[in-house]
Amino acid sequence: MRYAVLGTGVVGRTIAAKLATLGHDVLVGTRDPQATLARTEPDGYGNPPLATWLRDHPQVRLATFADAAADAETVVNATSGAGSLDVLTSAGAGNLAGKVLIDIANPLDFSAGMPPSLNPVNTDSLGEQIQRAFPGVKVVKTLNTMNASIMTAPAQVPGEHNVFVSGDDAEAKKAVTELLHSFGWPRESVIDLGDITTARGTEMVLPIWLRLWGALGHPEFNFHIAGARRTTA
């Protein structure tokens, strides 16, 4: 399968590396590939410059958002939530049309300092905004409720835990569930919450996720729905 991963941060790199390891064709999309490659300093989170990362992942190629999306069968939105709609517009509605868009972004709003709030929130979600802005795309919201390190290596968190999918297209959710399975998620750990409006629910767990990170002192945890399979009638 040919994938475009939009975004060069930790989430984008984690997903792109895993997809390449699984034998998929992977283009990572960025606004200006030359500018991205010219950076020689670590990013604000201490990650090495992308040029260094690409040298370690020779199967992954860099392209503009539009070229990456045009070439792909499935597109992954791994950009920051505040920039996602702009990035997808750059990628081009025509290049996205008819494709599955795996939306991992959260609409964190840092404008009033820490902890961030969400925007949109409550009566709307980023997943819904993307679906409305690109009606020809099959948006599946998933993986946005956990640290990047867990997305493609769920076994690093001990015991059972869950990943959620939200979307309007049943076939697209089925395909994404299979992809999650290839990432290491047992099929029974994938919970289909319903249509894309259920993305409100998964985006709105970010506030407790951030506070749990603070309280526990590390982000290597994940949500498990205990009792999901009712054991008594």
Catalog residues that contact a second copy under the rule CB under 8 A: 112, 117-118, 121-123, 156-161, 164, 191-194, 198, 200-202, 204-205, 207-212, 214-218, 220-231
Nearer to a second copy, 134 or 209 (CB): 209
Least separation in angstroms between residue 201's CB and a second copy is 3
Which letter, b or e, does each residue of 129-163 get, where b requires 16 or more Cβ atoms within 10 Å of its Cβ? bbbeebeebbbbbbbbbbbbebbbebeebeeebbb
Nearest distance, CB of residue 15 and a second copy, angstroms: 20
Output the smallest distance, CB 92 to a second copy, in A.
32
Q: How far is the CB of 230 from a second copy (least distance, A)?
A: 5
In this complex, which beta carbon is closest to a second copy, that of residue 40 or of residue 111?
Answer: 111
Indicate the residue among 32 and 220 with the shorter CB distance to a second copy: 220
The residue (of 20 and 193) whose beta carbon lies closer to a second copy is: 193
Gap between the Cα atoms of 3 and 18, Å rounded: 11
Ordered DSSP codes for 16-47: HHHHHHTT-EEEEEES-HHHHHH--S--TTSP
Backbone dihedral region of 60: left (phi > 0), alpha (psi from -120 to 50 degrees) or beta?
Answer: beta
- Contact between residue 5 and residue 78 where contact means Cβ atoms under 8 Å apart: yes
